[in-house]
Amino acid sequence: EAGVTQFPSHSVIEKGQTVTLRCDPISGHDNLYWYRRVMGKEIKFLLHFVKESKQDESGMPNNRFLAERTGGTYSTLKVQPAELEDSGVYFCASSQDRMRGMNTEAFFGQGTRLTVV
């Protein structure tokens, strides 16, 4: 079974440009999360989709970031316009629905390393 896949693995763009990151979750996983790790610091939550709906977007830094999950399958995260501080590794994760009171494990993709110069 394929894991969580992210495209591209690396992206180098100039300040002011637009970049779109893509995440394909594990098939059947309704929950999709975006996280970001900046400069070797902690991995920070950005937002959470349940199917196509945004369940929680409290971690989105500002309105230059736009996440979509049309049809409840893959998701995109667009940064427009990119700033230097947006550089970091963007991780996507997915999980099944929580069942019978049990938390379910989140599976992470390999991440997209974004460098804004």
Partner 1 sequence: DQQVKQNSPSLSVQEGRISILNCDYTNSMFDYFLWYKKYPAEGPTFLISISSIKDKNEDGRFTVFLNKSAKHLSLHIVPSQPGDSAVYFCAASPYNTGTASKLTFGTGTRLQVTL
CB of 57 to partner 1, least distance (A): 10
Closer to partner 1 by Cβ: residue 73 or 104: 104
Q: Which of 17, 52, 64, 108 binds partner 1 (CB under 8 A)?
A: 108
**At 111, phi and psi to the nearest 5?**
95, 155
Compute how many other C-beta atoms are within 10 angstroms of the C-beta atom of residue 14. 9
Q: How far is CA 54 from CA 9, 17, 38, 60, 100, in A?
A: 24, 25, 23, 12, 23
CB of 53 to partner 1, least distance (A): 12
CB of 22 to partner 1, least distance (A): 15
Restricted to residues 65-104, the positions that interact with partner 1 (CB under 8 A) are 91, 93, 95-98, 103-104
Counting contacts by CB under 8 A, is residue 23 touching partner 1?
no
| b (16+ CB within 10 A) / e for 97-113 | eeeeeeeeebebbebbe
Counting contacts by CB under 8 A, is residue 41 touching partner 1?
yes
Nearest alpha carbon to residue 24 among 114, 112, 102? 112
By CB under 8 A, name the binding residues for partner 1.
4, 30-31, 33, 35, 40-45, 48, 50, 55-56, 59, 91, 93, 95-98, 103-111
